[in-house]
């Protein structure tokens, strides 16, 4: 029997305390020396993954590259729950790559309206036309990456799911998983971090190519549902045993955040002209912010006060509120002013204060018709709100 005051007893107490601090979850998702990272992940995903997404093939059927591609493009910068209704409407409207390639840009933007980041829709259209010219869908990650709007991670996701290619997906959620696995000290968004995590991700791929579709979905699911930015559910993580950040109780420190810069604010003044149930919209140029979408004319400066406007013969303007919308690099604050011109001269007077390069691009349509067109998300909310009040 070991004496309570003996060196052996004290050593056992020290070891027991150390073990309790460093023990791993003891569920079926714990690390086993006999199972690899990918095997643990695949076992977990069989029961806990998102295994019934609409672009997933039925048992025994191959994945549809077109639907997988559309889903991956839509999931760029957009959460799954937000994206799903848009996905269903989009593939119902354009059920094949040929249908998409034959569509007009305005039709594609209208189907995309409200999802944001409209360059994705224009790139989808351009890529579909390139695919039609080539005569077949891409067969590898490198071929996918050659298309507009398809980066390395998106290409890897599509090729691994549709062709079982051993290509490592590295979307934002997956990068967070691997940054915590290795306690990567490189700042988020840096080229150094991207290079390091690419190596880590590639090293953990399953050896059998046939497992790639399930593995790719599993690692994306893990990042989206368990390894969360805040309060990760480490007790439910199948690979917590190999995670350095978990072992060191430092999951809140990784990934290392990028240097944050103050987001500038851009002030704008929008003109809402209404006449006999129709509103005036401008079609924006194909390139640039909200390219190809309908927007309201933008005034060069804050409009004159009502009394000053009447004295100068300027049609009266009524403030109807302000729109605030965050972009990646700036915040837009747009004050909206309503006018009800009674003549073409009134329209010309109002438009003389606008920034429109081509006033001939203005169209008069009902708000109901506008909602069927491609509208930026903040303007769509405004149209719905004002239409409800009228």
Mind spelling out the 3-state secondary structure of 19-77? HHHHCCCCCCCCCCCCCCHHHHHHHHHHHHCCCCCCCCCCCCCCCCHHHHHHHHHHCCC
**CB atoms < 10 A from the CB of 299, how many?**
20
Name the DSSP letter for residue 354: B
Of 75, 70, 42, give the one whose Cα is nearest residue 55. Answer: 70
Query: Is the confidence at residue 8, as pLDDT, over 90?
Result: no
The tokens for 134 are 């080539």
pTM over 0.75: no
Contact 83, 65 (CB under 8 A): no
Contact 336, 255 (CB under 8 A): no
∠ Cα 302 343 375 (to 5°): 55
Query: Is the confidence at residue 186, as pLDDT, over 70?
Result: yes
**pLDDT for position 176:** 98
Contact 281, 363 (CB under 8 A): yes
Segment 16-34, tens digit of pLDDT? 443 344 444 333 334 445 6
**pLDDT for position 313:** 55
Segment 161-185, tens digit of pLDDT? 999 999 999 999 999 999 999 999 9
3-state SS assignment for residue 128: helix
Q: What are phi and psi of 269, to 5 degrees?
A: -130, 115
Mean pLDDT of 237-243: 97
Q: What are phi and psi of 176, to 5 degrees?
A: -65, -40
Please tell me which residue, 193 or 290, carries the higher pLDDT value.
Answer: 193
Mean pLDDT of 203-221: 97
- Cα atoms found within 13 Å of the Cα of residue 360, Cβ hemisphere only: 0
Q: Which domains does the chain have, with CATH numbers?
A: 37-253 (1.10.340.30), 265-389 (3.90.79.10)
The long-range contacts involving 301-306, CB below 8 angstroms and separated by at least 24 positions, are 301/269, 301/353, 302/269, 302/335, 303/269, 303/271, 303/337, 303/353
The residue whose two tokens read 């003389």 is 352
The tokens for 347 are 């329209």
Rounded to whole angstroms, how far apart are CA atoms 149 and 208? 29
Please tell me which residue, 378 or 138, carries the higher pLDDT value.
Answer: 138
| Catalytic option among 72, 165, 200, 373 | 72
Rounded to whole angstroms, how far apart are CA atoms 259 and 261? 7
- Check if 72 is active-site: yes
Ranges 20-29, 215-224, 328-337: which has the least confidence: 20-29
**What are the residues whose beta carbons fall under 8 Å from the beta carbon of 170, sequence distance 6 or more?**
152, 153, 156, 178, 194, 197, 198, 201
Rounded to whole angstroms, how far apart are CA atoms 101 and 70? 13
């Amino acid at each position: 029997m070991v004496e309570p005051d003996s060196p052996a007893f004290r050593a056992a107490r020290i070891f027991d305390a150390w073990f309790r601090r460093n023990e791993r979850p003891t569920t079926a998702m714990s690390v086993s020396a006999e199972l690899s990272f990918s095997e643990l992940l695949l076992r977990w995903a069989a029961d806990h993954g998102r295994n019934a997404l609409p672009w997933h093939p039925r048992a025994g059927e191959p994945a549809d590259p077109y639907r997988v591609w559309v889903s991956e493009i839509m999931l760029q910068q957009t959460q799954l729950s937000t994206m799903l209704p848009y996905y269903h409407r989009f593939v119902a409207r354009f059920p094949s790559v040929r249908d998409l390639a034959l569509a007009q840009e305005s039709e594609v933007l209208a189907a995309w309206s409200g999802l944001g980041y409209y360059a994705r829709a224009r790139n989808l259209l351009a890529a579909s036309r390139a695919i039609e010219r080539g005569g077949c869908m891409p067969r590898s990650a490198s071929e996918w990456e050659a298309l507009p709007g398809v980066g390395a991670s998106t290409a890897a996701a599509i090729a691994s799911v549709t062709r079982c290619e051993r290509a490592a997906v590295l979307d934002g959620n997956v990068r967070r998983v691997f940054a915590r696995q290795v306690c990567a000290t490189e700042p988020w968004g840096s080229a150094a971090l991207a290079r390091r995590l690419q190596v880590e991700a590639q090293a953990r791929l399953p050896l059998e190519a046939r497992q790639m579709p399930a593995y790719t979905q599993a690692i994306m699911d893990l990042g989206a549902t368990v390894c969360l930015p805040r309060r990760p559910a480490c007790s439910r993580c199948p690979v917590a045993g190999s995670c350095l950040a978990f072992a060191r109780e430092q999951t809140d420190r990784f990934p290392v955040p990028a240097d944050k810069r103050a987001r500038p604010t851009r002030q704008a003044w929008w003109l809402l002209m209404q006449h006999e149930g129709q509103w005036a919209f401008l079609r924006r140029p194909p390139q640039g912010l909200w390219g190809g979408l309908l927007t309201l004319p933008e005034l060069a400066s804050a409009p004159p006060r009502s009394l000053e406007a009447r004295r100068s013969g300027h049609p009266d303007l009524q403030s109807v509120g302000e729109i605030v919308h965050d972009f990646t690099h700036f915040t837009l604050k747009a004050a909206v002013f309503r006018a009800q011109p009674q003549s073409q001269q009134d329209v010309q007077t109002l438009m003389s204060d606008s920034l429109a390069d081509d006033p001939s691009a203005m169209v008069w349509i009902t708000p109901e018709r506008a909602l069927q067109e491609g509208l930026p998300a903040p303007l769509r909310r405004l149209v719905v709100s004002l239409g409800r009040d009228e």
